[in-house]
Structure 1
């Protein structure tokens, strides 16, 4: 009976409960005990509800924090470059490997004089982000994307190693691209500015560009072969068992040169193995089949 009384009177005022229990013939002490118990039950119910609300709010906050950490707002990218692989191909590979959508904006050489002033340093490639922010410089863009999409090692020493490998291959690519475009009549300069005695001596500059490219290639490649052998005897990737952006830079640097002069790589068997292993990687293979086919 006392439990029924507690349940029915949990929300009633103490004065009303005293009158009702007095009418039922209960002694005053027992009535006070019942009233006190009802008040305590009501208090505990309120505390319990408050704790449940606090727990629910904390859970909601934790979920919101996790979602903001694991799902940050993805910026919208536009990659500006000429209609070729060249210096931008490593960036395109990283976008593809990371599954990131971007706009691949390409320019013909005939368009360049008209739009060169639209870009920082009058330079391509250029990565455009939300709000019209444009980032120049090939290696700065590559490093940004590598950090953003986990193609960079974690330790400082491994970062250092990945950087110098990438920079070495980019040095070869830089000299090759200058030679390639010069011999094909693009970006030719006034010969008097370079001490070659006018436009009639372009062949002298052609020879210089080729010499410079080959000198850079022969200076760097033996060291790169040794670097590859430092991890797993050169049987996997430059950084060991995981592909990093230095492997992508290696492939992009070598691709045109290998097509033009395959015998140049006969002294570098480990890198030839890496070249074939890279192109056979499932994600890279799908990218190579679906990308735009260009001469360079």
Structure 2
């Protein structure tokens, strides 16, 4: 007989939203139980040395460690409408997620020198972010969601990434009310609203 019981999931990441938050949103929306294992920075070197690729988040699925947050997100959303309802929509979802991730990856999150970090953040938010936001706004147009006619994990990822960017530049979306509306619609989904309300409050 086939075993259809739900796998045991354990998500390991720092006590922050960061790269794990998209996975937490998906778990919340799909109502999947998991262990949200948050580690302290002091424990990271020891944990890092035990990981094949030395990076987190990792999702342990019945003892198997999966890495790369977006690969994990694709695994969890496969065969759900969150991934997109058609193969074309799924490609569009992946493209928007990758576009957002390309931009977020340009920030020197781990830079030790604060002056260099501040300068680079300021340049990206002042000169580069407006181009990305205009492209996203044009892509969204008059649609309710970024892709198709229902929410996908690309909308989740937009809300998560923009929440982080707004920490550094609170007026970032002032000229993009349609993109703000998508954020608010994601935040109003009952399962997501519940998670946002009860998650540990962290700056990033």
User: 2:163 aligns to what?
Assistant: 255
Aligned to 2:180, the other structure's residue is in SS state helix
Once the two structures are superposed, the pairs formed by residues 182-221 of structure 1 within 5 Å of their partners are 182=111, 188=112, 203-204=115-116, 206-212=118-124, 214-221=126-133
Once the two structures are superposed, the pairs formed by residues 45-60 of structure 1 within 5 Å of their partners are none
Cα separation, 1, equivalents of 2:192 and 2:121 = 32
1:33-74 Cα offsets, whole Å, 9 max, x none, are: xxxxxxxxxxxxxxxxxxxxxxxxxxxxxxx8xxx6xx8231
Once the two structures are superposed, the pairs formed by residues 112-191 of structure 1 within 5 Å of their partners are 112-130=44-62, 132-147=63-78, 149-176=80-107, 178-179=108-109, 181-182=110-111, 188=112
Alignment length, in residue pairs? 204
User: 1:97 aligns to what?
Assistant: 29
Q: Structure with the greater relative contact order (CA < 8 A, sep ≥ 6): 1 or 2?
A: 2
Aligned to 1:294, the other structure's residue is in SS state coil
Bigger Rg over Cα: 1
Once the two structures are superposed, the pairs formed by residues 233-272 of structure 1 within 5 Å of their partners are 233-234=142-143, 236-272=144-180
RMSD between aligned alpha carbons?
A: 2.2
Q: Structure 1 regions of 5+ residues with no counterpart?
A: 1-63, 183-187, 189-198
TM-score (structure 2 length as normaliser)? 0.89
Contact kept in structure 1, 2:167 and 2:203, CA below 8 Å = no
Cα separation, 1, equivalents of 2:90 and 2:126 = 28
Displacement of 1:101 in angstroms is 0.5
Inter-CA distance 120–149: structure 2 relative to 1 (3 Å threshold): farther
Inter-CA distance 216–142: structure 2 relative to 1 (3 Å threshold): farther
Instruction: Say which is worse superposed, 140-149 or 248-257, in terms of deviation.
Output: 140-149
TM-score (structure 1 length as normaliser)? 0.63
Higher helix share: 1
Cα separation, 2, equivalents of 1:241 and 1:173 = 26
Cα separation, 2, equivalents of 1:215 and 1:113 = 35
1:173-226 Cα offsets, whole Å, 9 max, x none, are: 3234x34x53xxxxx3xxxxxxxxxx7xx6346423542465542332211111
Q: Structure 2 regions of 5+ residues with no counterpart?
A: none
Inter-CA distance 128–271: structure 2 relative to 1 (3 Å threshold): same
Aligned to 1:151, the other structure's residue is in SS state helix
User: 1:27 aligns to what?
Assistant: none
Aligned to 2:82, the other structure's residue is in SS state coil
